[in-house]
Structure 1
Amino acid sequence: MTALCPLVAHAKTEYRVEQMTREVSLDPNDQVHRVTVYGWLGMTTGIRFPDSFNAGQVLCGQCLEMREGGKHEADPNHATQYNWLLDKRPEDRFIYLRPAMVPDADTPPSAYATNIHILLDGGHVVVVDLRLSARQDDTKQVQVQADALVTLSLPYGTTLTGRLAEERKKMKAEIVKQILEGSTQMMLQVMTPATHCQDIRWRRPYRHDKTVMRLNQLCHNSARSTLWVTFTVENRGATVLYLDGATLEPQTDRGGLGESVFAFNQKVVPPDATADGIALWQLKKVQPKADALHRDSTDAWSLRLIPSDTNRTPVVIEHLTF
């Protein structure tokens, strides 16, 4: 976002100033951040800090700091010329800078170059290379660029708000995991000691449409009225995989009418990540001339993984025998 100031005349040369508003992203892995900021005559430049940090100590040898009431008090013992006026607003996470005087033939813009060290909460240091926009006196009209506002930002996960959101996300995932583990444990307690499981992790994984499924266990109770399978889903695609559900169904109708339920430890699977799931089938109504005792290990079952993304087709594994 830019704006043009009216023409300003200095040393018989007219300058059209383009005020820049820009955002500079800081690297959270670094403790020291370096930023170049360009100011202009008669214009105030603001520097805004990330939401999770406040500007503490500001070290600037060529800056005259603004006191209460908008006044500047120069130190008579200060040998260095004050080229910049400094106004600190730590409560708003802002500092404001403005050139203190107009350069003349004996004071070129290069004399305004200085460094400001700003100490932030958390041990971070921002080094601002403060420069006066370059002027060209050999033309009658010159357009220069200067910073009206520079916003320093950090990635979302490193700010206070972002960290709180990440913590809530982790807590929610942990609660879901505990619920899933608790539900599985309750099912196992109900079904034991008449529960029979076979470990099938040695089987080759099933691959379909950049989705990989690995079966872990096939289990059933003694009456075969309740069957379930545990599995792992791996996302080999370049986009996030959203899981909508999973079903376990008999491939024949002699076993009776049942209900299939499922659970995942997470329904959002990023690329190269995995999710654990369980699909369970429970007998609800016995068909005529069929009951739970008629089912045996030769009956075939199918497991279907259903993604919510329409660009991915369901993964179907057939001929499972319990």
Structure 2
Amino acid sequence: MERRESLGEFFLRAPAIGPALALVVAVVVFSLSTSTFLELDNLSLVVEQSLVVGTLALGQTLIILTAGIDLSNAAAMVLATLLMAKLLVGGVPGGLALILGVLVTAALGLVTGSLVTRVKLPPFIVTLGLFTMLTAAAKLVADGQAVPIAPGSLLAWLGTRRYLFGGIPVTYGMTLALVMYLVLWYALTRTAWGKHVYAVGNAPEAARLSGIKVNRTIVSVYLVAGLIFGIAAWQALGRVPNADPNAYQLGNLDSITAVVLGGTSLFGGRGSVFGTMMGALIVTVLRSGLTQLGVDSLYQDVATGALVIAAVAVDRLARRQK
């Protein structure tokens, strides 16, 4: 007799289903309780507000899939925005400034991955140390002042708004984010590299015995994540054309929140990029809806924290049920 699949096994097999349902519920609730939530301009603003954290969360997803974590991603992104802006103001072409900024975050990812694999340091400790160092470095580079950039420059281009079908506001940043999610989804689900990432997160020793180069896979994950964090810096400058050393101070925690709410397990080996997309949108929808309802931002943080705890608890229960 064929055994029926349990609810826990279903959510383990399709981790993006739960976040998608939660997002739909949140949208329905705020649509019924406010008069402005479903307006096109508001929905476009919600998506736009989720772009930076959503891009950070995309790189964070890769790292958490290998049972790691990155507390320095937002600090690396902020440092990259300052380097790009300083180079642009100093006369460097926008394209070259962008490439150099992305290369810096990629190099930081390579260093992090090497310390985790070669020196065998815990990812939490490595990235916590880098977070402190990069935060200080950003303030040193900025010399205590924000660096504005010209709104028409390449670095601010992702914030350019266009209207689809005559009325739906869309920015180039939204398009780029969607393309990145699709590319990474394909890489994780349709390539050998993606299968290796999941295998290393599930059981690194078993992956090693099956012939997977575990250290090389982990380093590649941190390197790709570093590239993504550099693109997040471009997204941030498109969102606000001003490089501020004090911006996104909680960006690392927001990215982890989006990943966890998206159904990716903190214990590695399970999750999806589309779940992360849902998670980033859930956070933004929740804050936008509660703001329109007049709820204090402190209570919004309490609600977000409770959601994170609930998401981790559901993951643990699902794994036990399996």
Question: TM-score category by the smaller chain?
Answer: under 0.3
Which structure's relative contact order is higher, taking Cα pairs within 8 Å and 6+ residues apart? 2
> If the length of structure 1 is used for normalisation, what is the TM-score?
0.20
Instruction: Give the strand-richer structure, 1 or 2.
Output: 1
* Structure with bigger gyration radius: 1
Instruction: Give the helix-richer structure, 1 or 2.
Output: 2
> If the length of structure 2 is used for normalisation, what is the TM-score?
0.20
